[in-house]
């Protein structure tokens, strides 16, 4: 087909859809404005330009173009989107947790007016200040390479939602060689007992972390809370994981009643860890929180910091074998993701700290703000 042009329109019944060239995230980025029957702006589909509480990243074409794209994003926001009017509904392409923005808010619905008032990236005094603050290099998930290729070449057509096979414990074990076992239960359930070698990644974290921890060239076998696991399959499919070979029917209960051995990862509450430190003991702590969390919540003295998304790339920076490695985040969910990955890579003395800094009460190891 022919590429869309700025200002091109389509009629949808009594409504009209208009293409808006909104460069910034990419030079050719387009948004689409839906007008009501009276021709007034009603809904704008902003794609990867304006998000709830954030703007689309401008660094994905490389450091040499980020300032140029940030300038284009400033022009897009102030000349094309904000003038549409405060009452216009904004429908972005991504929500909270997407790596296409650095800090997308949890607002499910938003408007131009809400973003004008609440979006911190719309409050910079000048174009130069905007460029300085927005033109930053962010992390680039490994799965972006596949997404870019599919965007250019087209993704494979599946025809329908994949339906993975329900597997008995014996069948599941027989297919596990060459596959990755993905366990989407909570950190507490996974820590208590899991299929040996499984990767922990709770259901709500699939969109944010699957691309950092799961390969595309190996089939996936799922362990969850029930059967079918349609929500898990749908979430994986949306980020390109369509080779789900099956799931453990009946979950870990089936695994145990079949006499299969399971593995576990120890968990400690944050209060127990603080008491242990205050008793004069030293602990090896791996903190997998983000830089922003460290800045706003404080640092644990002596802890090694490797963000959860960087763990697979920085294994050489993570101590192994000398003493128990305690993994810390804001709750225990991301800690278990990282710990299970390390366990798959040979770390055999691990513990996950449950709870965040709200429970950190150590007197000998106070949080550094």
pLDDT single digits (tens) 194-234: 999 999 999 999 988 998 999 999 999 999 988 878 999 99
Angle between helices 127-134 and 66-75 (to 10 degrees): 130
The residues with which 325 forms a beta bridge, in sequence order, are: 284, 350
SS3 content of the chain, % helix, strand, coil (to 5): 35, 20, 45
Evaluate whether 131 touches 71 at the Cβ level (below 8 Å).
Answer: yes
What local confidence, expressed as pLDDT, does residue 333 receive? 95
Provide the pLDDT for residue 159.
63
> pLDDT in tens for each of the 369 residues of the chain?
688 999 999 999 999 999 999 999 999 999 999 999 999 999 999 999 999 999 999 998 899 999 999 999 999 999 999 999 999 999 999 887 777 777 888 888 899 999 999 999 998 889 999 999 999 888 777 777 777 777 777 777 666 677 899 999 999 999 999 999 999 999 999 999 999 999 999 999 998 899 899 999 999 999 998 887 899 999 998 888 989 999 999 999 999 999 999 999 999 999 999 999 999 998 999 999 998 899 889 999 999 999 999 999 999 999 997 899 999 998 999 999 999 999 999 999 999 999 888 889 999 999 998
pLDDT at 19: 97
Nearest CA-CA partner of 325 in 312, 310, 338: 338
Classify residue 182 by its DSSP letter. Answer: E
How high is the pLDDT of residue 91? 96
Count of CB atoms situated within 10 Å of the CB of 83: 11
- Is-contact 197 191, C-beta < 8 A? no
Contact in structure between 260 and 173 (CB atoms under 8 Å):
yes
Integer Cα distance of 350 and 335 in angstroms? 10
Cα–Cα distance for residue pair 42/90, rounded to 1 Å: 9
**Global pTM?**
0.78
Query: How many C-beta atoms surround the C-beta of residue 308 within 10 A?
Result: 24
Q: What is the DSSP letter of 76?
A: I
């Amino acid at each position: 087909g022919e590429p869309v042009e700025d200002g091109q329109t389509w009629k949808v019944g009594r409504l009209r859809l208009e293409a808006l060239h909104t460069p910034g995230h990419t030079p050719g980025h387009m948004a689409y404005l839906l007008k009501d029957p009276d021709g007034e702006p009603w809904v704008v589909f902003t794609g990867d330009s304006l998000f709830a509480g954030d703007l689309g990243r401008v660094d994905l074409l490389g450091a040499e173009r980020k300032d140029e794209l940030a300038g284009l994003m400033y022009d897009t926001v102030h000349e094309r989107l904000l003038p549409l009017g405060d009452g216009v509904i904004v429908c972005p392409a991504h929500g909270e947790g997407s790596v296409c923005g650095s800090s997308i808010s949890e607002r499910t619905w938003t408007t131009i007016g809400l973003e004008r008032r609440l979006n911190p990236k719309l409050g910079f005094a000048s174009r130069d200040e905007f460029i300085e603050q927005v033109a930053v290099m962010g992390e680039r998930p490994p799965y972006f390479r596949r997404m870019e290729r599919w965007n250019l070449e087209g993704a494979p057509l599946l025809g329908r939602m994949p339906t993975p096979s329900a597997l008995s414990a014996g069948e599941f074990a027989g297919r596990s060689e060459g596959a990755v076992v993905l366990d989407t239960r909570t950190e507490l359930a996974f820590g208590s007992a899991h299929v040996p070698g499984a990767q922990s990644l709770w259901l709500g974290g699939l969109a944010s972390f699957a691309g950092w921890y799961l390969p595309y060239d190996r089939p996936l076998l799922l362990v969850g809370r029930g059967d079918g696991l349609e929500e898990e399959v749908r979430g994986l499919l949306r980020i390109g994981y369509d080779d789900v070979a099956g799931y453990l029917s009946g979950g870990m209960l089936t695994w145990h009643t079949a006499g299969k051995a399971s593995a576990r990862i120890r968990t400690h509450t944050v209060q127990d860890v603080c008491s242990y430190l205050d008793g004069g003991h030293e602990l090896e702590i791996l903190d997998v929180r983000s830089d922003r969390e460290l800045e706003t919540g404080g640092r644990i003295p002596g802890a090694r910091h490797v963000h959860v998304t960087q763990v697979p790339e920085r294994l050489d920076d993570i101590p192994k074998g000398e003493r128990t490695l305690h993994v810390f985040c804001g709750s225990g969910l991301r800690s278990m993701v990282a710990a299970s990955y390390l366990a798959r890579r040979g770390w055999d003395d691990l513990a996950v700290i449950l709870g965040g800094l709200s429970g950190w009460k150590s007197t000998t190891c106070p949080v550094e703000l």
